[in-house]
Structure 1
Amino acid sequence: MKNARDIIVRPVITERTSEFIDQQKYVFEVNLKANKTQIKQAIETIFKVKVVNVNTLRVPAKPKRYGRHSGYTSEWKKAFVTLAPDSKPLEFFEASV
């Protein structure tokens, strides 16, 4: 994973995560194999901001059914990124609020 765009998959924008924007916390779906250091460097590279803290969690696969067919959703990794107080807010999230 050399490219920062390979580490950050997409932003997670929900009603709950939009409440974190006031505290300068942002939520991203990241690659399952990425660690906190790689996530921090990727966010700083892409958005040109200073990251203070990164918390990660793995969202487990859930069983799903469609009629008589059953399967599982994909497992994925979520990263909560806290920016420095003097850092500028991310424009990508500001447009959605």
Structure 2
Amino acid sequence: MKITVDLDPRDIWRIQERAEREGITPGQILRDELTTKRTALERRTRIRARVLAGMCDADIAKELDTTNQHVAAIRRSEGLPANRRNQRRTA
């Protein structure tokens, strides 16, 4: 499948330079970058859902195999308060 996109010239130059440096196609660079962004968004969504469910940072970090600091940073960037351990909310 072929998809056409409009990119800022700086992004095109960056992608082409990286592709030449790594010896791969610009399409592979784009797929890699899209996958990385999707994974980060999915992780952010999972953390947000668990915070809203009342889980504490440590439990979320353990469940998602990441650090407490990473969970706390995402939680703060979402404007969510920290939860105390064992204070799960029931809906």
Give the structure-1-normalised TM-score: 0.28
More strand by share: 1
Considering Cα pairs closer than 8 Å and 6+ residues apart, tell me whether 1 or 2 has the greater RCO.
1
Give the structure-2-normalised TM-score: 0.29
CA radius of gyration, larger in: 2
